[in-house]
Structure 1
């Protein structure tokens, strides 16, 4: 169990942790994980189990082999109630001897001491103050954040120690922290990105059943833009024959422009192990007529073909230009770009493709 190496036991052997409430079911040990404080189930999160752990570390160094355009990440949560059927991070639950399907959606691990650990780590004299990316694995503003409120402490710790940060999320709970982020941006570079891949309400709720609506996310983009942030929207993944029509792309980009976003990053669906099986299961239920096409398309690779990428670029790039947005393709992992404070940003340049070797991927978590 990788978590055995990431957590310490609770000082009193399992005293109630922050975020508890009367009537919560608790279990002092599960999966043999050291550092597990308790397991919590509450009526307000029906069907979801939270495993509260005490983490030893919160800052994760990204190996150079990963080719990610950032060096450090923080992930307060593991597992995600957003339940996106295509989520690339699903396979990480297998490292805990859990499955990449329902367990990923319903068994959420919470680093309840993340703010304190981050504060201690960035206060060290040797801390490099390099950009820290949040949202590189599971969403830091998934519903659990409303209960545990870990992000304000993380943001404050980074800002107080001169550390730039980027946030990528589907969660509209981000709006709670926009004033705090605006204050942080007075001292350090802060980048905000919202993931909005599907602009058809019925399809969006089928693909991403635990996420806020597209309209709510666009409203969050608007709220961030009104505070002076140059917001990026990630149109990822674009799904062949489902969200790649000219009409869908055009209406999506118009809505993104109208919400006040500055940039768009787009990329075709990729299906790594774990996500692949779960997505195909959804496709068989929701769009069985497309299953043979997808099986052919992803028969020998986790990625769509170069021909498809080229076709998609030829279709979407003129639309991006027409709506006055900056844009680029990112055919692999959602990457952030670093900007020098609000309204001052680095040029958009595609990062190298990410390595698929397991150690590099695991280090992002």
Structure 2
């Protein structure tokens, strides 16, 4: 992890092994925040994730949503934190993320590309209400016309809807709300800190109404739990009702850090499914190709059936140069 030290608050206890010794540590209720300065903020997106974006910026590591399956859990282990128990209550905050991002975007080495925001922790989790890192990050992207996608489950993104709509005048800027299923009982089990699917659907509709293009990342699709025909159809139908500009299905991935945590829950709650998961994930963190192809193909068929994105035109720059300069 590439962090520089920040001055230690006077009464702060020693930091954990791989958190900078001089990072600011703050306690708010049951959550500990480690405020750090990052040396770099733009990271390469692993191809296995299957995202359109080739690059990622994550202002937070750890997430109060505490989703059992989150791939960000692995990063906590590298910091000397418990990727299982600490992920939702020990949050690393890159307080200088906007400044660093602006500097990196201005370097000759930066060749451009779409940036995904919020892969190792929701960028609009509760911490963002306090730290307000996202407006500065989006301003840096807007000012350099760098296309970006915001990955979130949080309604807090509405705070910045106008800024997102502004950015969309000069680059392909959109929000991707994560809605893998609409079973709220299951959501409480595997996404305990996240808003309900209904709230996320309402969020998608409101963003589109405000002129901030919003699609849905249909993720994760949980094998044997949310992948039946009726379940897939229910999600796609309700997403279509929001006016979502796109829907991107993604089957559950189980990288180290998330794998043990999720499978332990599965063993407790659905032990009969363990053999099937062993078949699907025996070769690594992604499900068998044939299974993924079947599920994603069906979602694509349903999306066409319900007309998702049918009236959405691909992004194109605003032709009014004076308007663009006003934004910049």
Distance 1:310-1:185 versus aligned 2 partners, 3 A rule: closer
1:92-145 superposed Cα distances (whole Å, 9 cap, x missing partner): 222112232112222110011212222333345665454322123322112211
Distance 1:261-1:54 versus aligned 2 partners, 3 A rule: same
Map of 2:294 onto structure 1: 311
Structure 1: gaps (5+ residues): 17-24, 328-337, 343-365
Map of 2:17 onto structure 1: 31
Map of 1:8 onto structure 2: 4
Distance 1:67-1:316 versus aligned 2 partners, 3 A rule: closer
Map of 1:213 onto structure 2: 196
Distance 1:176-1:36 versus aligned 2 partners, 3 A rule: farther
Distance 1:339-1:104 versus aligned 2 partners, 3 A rule: farther
TM-superposed deviation, 1:281 = 1.0
1:144-189 superposed Cα distances (whole Å, 9 cap, x missing partner): 1112111011111221233222211112111111111112222232
Q: Is the 8 A contact 1:101 1:278 kept in 2?
A: yes
Q: Give the alignment of 1:58-207 within 5 angstroms.
A: 58-61=41-44, 69-124=52-107, 127-207=110-190
- Structure 2-normalised TM-score? 0.85
Q: Is the 8 A contact 2:61 2:72 kept in 1?
A: no
Map of 1:41 onto structure 2: 27
Aligned residues: 315
2: CA distance, partners of 1:62 / 1:310:
21
Further displaced range: 155-164 or 59-68:
59-68
2: CA distance, partners of 1:307 / 1:115:
41
Q: Is the 8 A contact 1:36 1:54 kept in 2?
A: no
2: CA distance, partners of 1:213 / 1:187:
33
Distance 1:60-1:197 versus aligned 2 partners, 3 A rule: same
Q: Is the 8 A contact 1:196 1:217 kept in 2?
A: yes
Q: Is the 8 A contact 1:7 1:35 kept in 2?
A: no
Map of 2:326 onto structure 1: none
2: CA distance, partners of 1:155 / 1:67:
23
Map of 2:263 onto structure 1: 280
Higher RCO structure, 1 or 2 (CA under 8 Å, sep 6+): 1
Map of 2:253 onto structure 1: 270
Distance 1:33-1:90 versus aligned 2 partners, 3 A rule: closer
> How large is the RMSD of aligned CA atoms in angstroms?
2.7
- Structure 1-normalised TM-score? 0.77
Distance 1:314-1:188 versus aligned 2 partners, 3 A rule: closer
TM-superposed deviation, 1:26 = 3.5
TM-superposed deviation, 1:211 = 0.8
Q: Is the 8 A contact 2:165 2:213 kept in 1?
A: no
Further displaced range: 318-327 or 245-254:
318-327
Describe the SS at the equivalent of 2:150.
strand
Describe the SS at the equivalent of 2:155.
coil
Map of 2:325 onto structure 1: none
1: CA distance, partners of 2:83 / 2:185:
24
1: CA distance, partners of 2:105 / 2:9:
27
Q: 2:211 aligns with which of 228, 244, 247?
A: 228
TM-superposed deviation, 1:234 = 1.1
Distance 1:98-1:253 versus aligned 2 partners, 3 A rule: same
1: CA distance, partners of 2:92 / 2:290:
39
Further displaced range: 256-265 or 138-147:
138-147
Q: Is the 8 A contact 2:149 2:174 kept in 1?
A: yes
Distance 1:63-1:100 versus aligned 2 partners, 3 A rule: closer
